[in-house]
Amino acid sequence: MGTCNRITTPFLANDISVLKAGDELLLSGIIYTARDAAHKRMTEALHRNETLPFDLKGTVIFYAGPSPARPGEPVGSIGPTTSYRMDPYTPLLLERGVKGMIGKGDRSPDVVRSMIRHGAVYLGATGGIAALLARTIVASRVLAYSDLGPEALRELEVRDMPLVVLIDSSGNSIYKIGPEKFGGKA
Which of these, 93, 90, 99, 10, lies nearest to 46 by C-alpha position?
Answer: 93
Residue 130 backbone class (left: φ over 0; alpha: ψ -120 to 50; beta: rest)? alpha
Contacts of 180 (CB under 8 A, 6+ apart): none
- Whole-number Å distance between alpha carbons of 19 and 164: 10
**Can you tell me the distance from the alpha carbon of 124 to that of 127, in angstroms, rounded to the nearest whole number?**
9
| Catalytic option among 39, 99, 107, 154 | 39
- Taking the C-alpha atoms of residue 140 and residue 70, their distance in angstroms, rounded to an integer, is 13
Active site residue 118: no
Q: Please give the positions annotated as active site.
A: 39
